[in-house]
Structure 1
Amino acid sequence: MPGHSFTHMGDAMCVYTDGCCSQNGRLKSRAGIGVYWGPNHPQNVAERLQGRQTNQRAEIQAACKAIEQARSQNIAKLVLYTDSMFTINGITKWIHTWRNNGWKLKSGKDVINRTDFEKLYKLMDGIDVKWIHIPGHAGFGGNEAADKLAREGARKPDTSSL
């Protein structure tokens, strides 16, 4: 992509992801994902979340999208900034226990976002991902841009039922 470069941290590419959901948990909820590689970057994403509309799914799926894009660009090392501690803890800590326990929580209930975390886990195979938590809505440019893209995506039509 001439004229468009990726932001680097050492030999790793940097990306910001965010998910949002208006009316989260309600009937008319609208979720979107945002992936921000840099100003006016052609890989930036603003998409409507497909399927169940929740904030947590949007956060996980935004990370999935960024890693899918990194794979398609043969990026081997990725620094992924997100304001979702749920996503970071889920993929770096909890997933090992969930997998060992047959995707059950300590309470015995099923892990609600199992398919989303399974997808994320599979996508990470072969890519070195460094997860960095960044506070949301705290003036960090990349996070603000990813948030704006996620909100733009949430306004798009849901095409999953078409």
Structure 2
Amino acid sequence: MVYKIKIWIDGGCRGNGNINAIGAAAAISIDPYEKEEAWQFMPSNRLRPVTNQRAELLAVIIALQQAWAKCESLDDNPWLDVEIHTDSRFVIGCMTNWIEKWSRNGWTNSMGCPVVNQDLIKRTYELQMRLKEEGNVEYTWVPRGENVEADGLCNKLMDKHS
């Protein structure tokens, strides 16, 4: 049996990289029975500096954690098919093109420098590899206009804390 989970994610930041920046990450999941769940997270001081890229990576972490929690809650141990939809080309590049190379190269980039945001990227890699033992994880780029709900959750949370 295959259990499909579709998740739309978004991360955002106001005042990108500044000391008073406000960021948020959100993920919205639709399970096979079309039930919708939403998760959101406000990056705290321990995640400084708050940047758009860090918020986007946090959205991936939220999605992968929730997919793993769903996997653990299922009784019949099905093959998991996780689809993560994002409007971030950065996330797509990290998770599909660069992450395996960085891991093999000791978390250095092609110029020999340490990978930026590797704390969050390592966490996404760990979660992704764990999920891949139970199924498949795919990332799909969507235009920003098709990611309205996840974007809306991020903006609401940032509005709340502005």
TM range (shorter): 0.7 to 0.9
Cross-structure match for 2:26: 34
Q: Which runs of 5+ in 1 are unaligned?
A: 1-9, 158-162
**Normalised TM-score (structure 1):** 0.79
Identity of aligned residues (%): 28
Instruction: Report what 1:67 is aligned to.
Output: 64
The total of aligned residue pairs comes to 144
CA contact (8 A) 1:79 1:130 kept: yes
**Partner of 2:9 in structure 1?**
17
- Larger fraction in helix: 2
SS at match of 2:107: coil
TM-score, with normalisation over the residues of structure 2?
A: 0.79
- Runs of 4+ displaced beyond 6 Å: none
Compare the two structures and name the one with the higher strand fraction. Answer: 2
Which residue of 45, 49, 54 maps to 2:51? 54
Contact 1:17 1:80 in 2 (8 A): yes
SS in 1 for 2:131: coil
Is residue 19–residue 55 contact of structure 1 (8 Å, CA) maintained in 2?
yes
Q: How does 1:77-92 map to 2 (within 5 A)?
A: 77-92=81-96
**Which residue identity does 1:104 align to in structure 2?**
T
Q: In 1, are the aligned partners of 2:23 and 2:55 still within 8 Å (CA)?
A: yes
Change (3 A) 1:40 1:126: closer
1:83 and 1:33 mapped to 2: Cα distance? 13
Contact persistence 1:81–1:134 (CA under 8 A): yes
| Letter paired with 1:121 | Y
CA contact (8 A) 1:48 1:153 kept: yes
Contact 1:11 1:77 (C-alpha < 8 Å) held by counterparts: yes
Which residue of 1 is the match for residue 104 of structure 2? 100
1: CA distance, partners of 2:17 / 2:108? 22
Look up the match of 1:5: none
Cα RMSD, aligned residues only: 2.2
Tell me by how many angstroms 1:156 deviates. Answer: 5.1
Task: Write out per-residue CA displacement over residues 65-104 of structure 1, whole angstroms, 9 at most, x where no aligned residue.
Answer: 0111111111721111001111111111111221222111
Q: Distance in 1 between matches of 2:35 and 2:10?
A: 17
Q: Which amino acid letter does the alignment assign opposite residue 104 of structure 2?
A: N
